[in-house]
Amino acid sequence: MALEDTRRLGCGRSIDQIWAGMDQPPTSHEEDCELCQAAKARMQKIKEATVALRESDLHNPEMTLPAERTNSIMALARAEARRSKRLVLRGTEYGTVEISEQALSSLIRLAAAAIPGIHSRRCRIEVQSDAEMGSTHLTINLRVATASGIDIPATVEGLRQKINKAIPAGVGIDAGTVNITVEDLYDV
Residues 164 and 88 in one domain: yes
Task: Please check whether residues 54 and 90 belong to one and the same domain.
Answer: no
Phi and psi of 174, rounded to 5°?
-70, 145
97 and 176 part of one domain: yes
The neighbour count for residue 161, using CB atoms within 10 Å, is 14
Q: Which residue has the higher pLDDT, 157 or 135?
A: 157
Residue 113 banded pLDDT, cuts 50, 70, 90:
very high
26 located within any domain = yes
In a domain, 105, yes or no: yes
The arithmetic mean of pLDDT across residues 58-74, rounded, is 81
Euclidean distance between CA atoms 123 and 104, whole angstroms: 10
- What does the alpha-carbon distance between residue 182 and residue 178 come to, in Å, rounded to a whole number? 13
DSSP secondary structure string, 106-173?
HHHHHHHHTSTTEEEEEEEEEEEEETTTTEEEEEEEEEEEEETTS-HHHHHHHHHHHHHHHHHHHHSS
Query: Average pLDDT in the 48-77 region?
Result: 83
Higher pLDDT, 186 or 1: 186
Range of the domain at 20: 15-58
**Measured between alpha carbons, how far is 111 from 116 in angstroms, rounded to an integer?**
11
In a domain, 70, yes or no: no
Q: Which band of pLDDT confidence, cut at 50, 70 and 90, is reported for residue 81? A: low
Q: Are residues 177 and 87 part of one domain?
A: yes
91 secondary structure, DSSP code: E
Question: Is residue 136 very low, low, confident or very high in pLDDT (cuts 50, 70, 90)?
Answer: confident
Helices and strands (H, E) in the chain, number of each type: 6, 5
pTM reported for the whole predicted model: 0.55
Sign of the CA dihedral with 114 first, then 115, 116, and 118 last: negative
Categorize the per-residue pLDDT at 82 as very low, low, confident or very high, splitting at 50, 70 and 90.
low
- CATH code of 130's domain: 3.30.70.1350
Q: How many domains does the chain have?
A: 2
My answer on whether 38 and 105 are in the same domain is no
